[in-house]
């Protein structure tokens, strides 16, 4: 379902430059722009485990649900390109190599041959349909004074880019002279990535080329570098990202202010540096068992740090936690994945993640993904043990956490503002500048977690871009 709020352009706001026709779903107001994110899912990713006649031993290939896609235009005249939105990385790059995007193939896992098919994000044909940026056709192109770069994502995707400078329009709102990457080579992905993570060495951006959010603020399109994210529930295909504003009708209770914490990372060779990311302290994790009020807490260990990463389709947690949750839900753990009874999706309860000063409940309908293959439903918990490594080891609260939260990422002050997500309409308030610029006060939705009795439609598919550029 598309976000259909009326276009409410307010004239006279400096820096606004609206291309009406290209972005039917966007809402533009004084100092903010709200853009629909569409979750791309399909059922192409199903695989059958080693062919054994007469068995129904099947598994879902990409146990990777949706990624959130946004349409942008680049250059003059505008060229439309779709990209995945990711808070786990900070680079915008376009033009993936479609001839190397496919992940289809036969691989040996636990002594069995597993046939992988392509998801919409790795399918070469889908890739070719998605729009490409041709710099030679843009009159607003200019040289970027940034050296070529190669970066990777934890799923193994690697990209080499050259940088250019050109105009970019997001939701119809334009900035000029934005630096971004154009792929020279890439693998494993058939779609470019638009990172909205902070610059890696400080929110203030001084040691890095100006990223899009900073440019928006500098060019006066928004008052300060901040955006809000409302992904919507797992069974909804539409979320929104709001630059420079907070939608008070997308959450309930108070928005808690939590400073993002810096993390001193030690890289190979022993070198240390302060790394900026959406790092938060994970203080607690508690299961409310299905259909009951009975709870159980898990020990996350000392100093558990997580990154808020909407590009991660799983929550990646301290080792051992997934097995405990799986046992408590009477599921079965196979490899990294816990399969549970689909009935749990329709029951009350879920997992409450405690951040410093805010608890967010992720109800079972947002924590458990249901896929159907040959009319049989399979349900698994979107949660894995951490095997990313890193020093210190940091975990990921991915889309399966963020869908239940309303999150405001305020770079200007290095703070997260977070509340329990809800949806009772639209009332976007602009974020000003300076400290405490994120509007305080409670959200305007008062109802509790929605009833879990409605029917669910099903989804599978798509690719995994766990942000975390490893440079
Ligand atoms: C996988 O193996 C099957 C059976 O041997 C074969 O038909 C198929 O072409 C292989 N797929 C790929 C992508 O290599
Ligand atoms: C992508 O390319 C990089 C660099 O050539 C390589 O290290 C990586 O293994 C490749 N990934 C996959 C999934 O093939
Ligand atoms: C999905 O999200 C849209 C936009 O946020 C909202 O209008 C709609 O009510 C939601 N649908 C469901 C089924 O939750
Ligand atoms: C950014 O820089 C300003 C001015 O130097 C400073 O007041 C502010 O605290 C800095 N913000 C962060 C998040 O470091």
| pLDDT tens digits for range 424-434 | 988 888 899 99
Residue 466 has pLDDT above 90, yes or no: no
Give the pLDDT band (50/70/90) at residue 18. Answer: very low
Our answer on whether the CB atom of 188 is closer than 6 Å to any ligand 2 atom is: yes
Does residue 455 surpass a pLDDT of 60? no
Query: Across residues 237-250, what is the average pLDDT?
Result: 87
Q: Whose CA is nearest to atom 7 of ligand 4?
A: 413
The closest-lying atom of ligand 4 relative to the alpha carbon of residue 411 is 13
Instruction: List the beta strands (DSSP E) in 125-233.
Output: 142-143, 149-152, 158-170, 173-186, 192-195, 226-230
Rounded distance from Cα 238 to ligand 3 centre (Å): 7
Inform me whether the pLDDT recorded for 329 exceeds 90.
yes
Contact 231, 399 (CB under 8 A): yes
Q: What is the reported pLDDT for 19?
A: 28
Question: Is the distance from the beta carbon of residue 281 to the nearest atom of ligand 2 less than 6 Å?
Answer: no
Q: How far is CA 415 from CA 85, 189, 276, in A?
A: 20, 31, 12
CA of 202 to the centre of ligand 4 (A): 9
DSSP-derived 3-state class of residue 278: coil
User: What's the chain's length in residues?
Assistant: 471
Name the token pair of 403: 């869908």
Residue 123: band (very low, low, confident or very high) from pLDDT cuts 50, 70, 90: confident
Q: Which ligand has its closest atom nearest to the C-alpha of 456?
A: 3
Distance (Å, rounded) from C-alpha 46 to C-alpha 147? 40
Q: What is the pLDDT of residue 1?
A: 16
Phi, psi of 346 (to 5 degrees): -95, 5
Strand partners, 53: none
Q: How far is the CA of 459 from the centre of ligand 4 (A)?
A: 43
Mean pLDDT of 68-73: 86
Indicate whether residue 122 lines ligand 2 (CB < 6 A).
no
- The ligand that comes nearest to the alpha carbon of residue 412 is 4
Answer yes or no: is the C-beta of 178 below 6 A from any ligand 2 atom: no
Sign of CA dihedral 271, 277, 281, 282: negative
Cα–Cα distance, 236 to 196 (Å, whole number): 22
Alpha-carbon gap, residue 430 to 175, rounded angstroms: 18
> Which of 109-118, 154-163, 211-220, 290-299 comes out lowest in average pLDDT?
109-118
Rounded Cα distance between 117 and 367, Å, is 25
If you average pLDDT over residues 163-180, what whole number do you get?
A: 92
Pocket (CB within 6 angstroms of ligand 3): 1, 3, 232-233, 236, 238, 423
The stretch 70-91 carries a mean pLDDT of: 92
- Residue identifier of the C-alpha nearest atom 9 of ligand 3: 423
By percentage, how much of the chain surpasses pLDDT 70? 77
pLDDT for the residue numbered 52? 30
Q: Is the pLDDT score of 11 beyond 60?
A: no
Mean pLDDT computed over 210-228: 93
Mean pLDDT of 157-174: 90
Helix H segments across 321-442?
321-328, 364-367, 399-402
Residue 269's pLDDT is what?
85
CA distance 335 to 150: 31
Nearest ligand to the C-alpha atom of residue 152 = 2
Q: How far apart are CA 462 and CA 165, in angstroms?
A: 30
Report how far ligand 4's centroid is from the alpha carbon of 412 (Å): 7
* pTM of the shown model: 0.85
User: Whose atoms come closest to the Cα of 104: which ligand?
Assistant: 1
DSSP β-ladder status, 192-195 and 395-397: unpaired
């Amino acid at each position: 379902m598309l976000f259909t709020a009326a276009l409410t352009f307010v004239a006279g706001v400096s820096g606004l430059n609206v291309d009406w026709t290209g972005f039917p779903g966007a809402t533009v107001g004084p100092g903010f722009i709200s853009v629909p994110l569409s979750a791309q899912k399909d059922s192409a990713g199903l695989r059958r485990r080693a062919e054994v006649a007469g068995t129904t031993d099947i598994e879902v290939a990409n146990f990777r649900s949706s990624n959130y896609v946004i349409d942008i235009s680049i250059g003059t005249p505008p060229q439309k390109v779709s990209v995945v939105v990711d808070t786990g990385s900070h680079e915008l790059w376009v033009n993936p190599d479609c001839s190397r995007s496919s992940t289809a193939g036969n691989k040996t896992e636990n002594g069995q041959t597993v046939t992988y098919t392509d998801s919409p994000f790795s399918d070469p044909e889908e890739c070719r349909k998605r729009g490409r940026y041709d710099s030679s056709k843009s009159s607003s192109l200019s040289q970027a004074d940034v050296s070529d770069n190669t970066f990777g994502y934890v799923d193994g995707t690697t990209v080499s880019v050259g940088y250019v400078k050109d105009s970019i329009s997001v939701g119809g709102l334009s900035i000029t002279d934005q630096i971004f990457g154009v792929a020279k080579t890439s693998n494993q992905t058939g779609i470019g990535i638009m990172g909205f993570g902070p610059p890696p060495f400080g929110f203030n951006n001084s040691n890095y080329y100006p990223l899009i959010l900073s440019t928006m603020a500098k060019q006066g399109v928004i008052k300060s570098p901040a955006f809000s994210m409302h992904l919507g529930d797992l069974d909804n295909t539409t979320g929104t990202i709001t630059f420079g504003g907070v939608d008070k009708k997308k959450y309930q209770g108070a928005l808690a202010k939590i400073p993002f914490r810096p993390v001193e990372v030690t890289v190979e060779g022993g070198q240390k540096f302060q790394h900026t990311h959406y790092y938060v302290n994970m203080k607690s994790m508690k299961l409310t068992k299905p259909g009951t009020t009975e709870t159980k807490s898990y020990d996350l260990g000392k100093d558990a740090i997580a990154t808020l990463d909407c590009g991660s389709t799983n929550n990646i947690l301290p080792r051992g936690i997934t097995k405990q949750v799986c046992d408590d839900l009477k599921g079965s753990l196979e490899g990294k994945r816990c399969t549970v009874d689909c009935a749990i999706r329709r029951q009350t309860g879920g997992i409450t993640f405690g951040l410093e000063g805010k608890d967010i409940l992720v109800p079972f309908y947002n924590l458990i993904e249901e896929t159907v293959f040959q009319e049989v439903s399979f349900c698994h918990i979107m949660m894995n043990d951490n095997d990313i490594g890193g020093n210190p080891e940091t975990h990921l609260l991915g889309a399966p956490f963020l869908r239940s939260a309303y999150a405001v990422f305020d770079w200007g002050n290095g703070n997260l503002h977070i509340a329990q997500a809800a949806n009772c309409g639209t009332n976007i308030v602009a974020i000003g500048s300076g400290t405490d610029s994120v509007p305080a006060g409670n959200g305007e939705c008062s109802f509790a977690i929605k009833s879990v009795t409605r029917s669910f439609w099903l989804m599978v598919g798509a690719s995994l871009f766990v942000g975390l550029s490893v440079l």
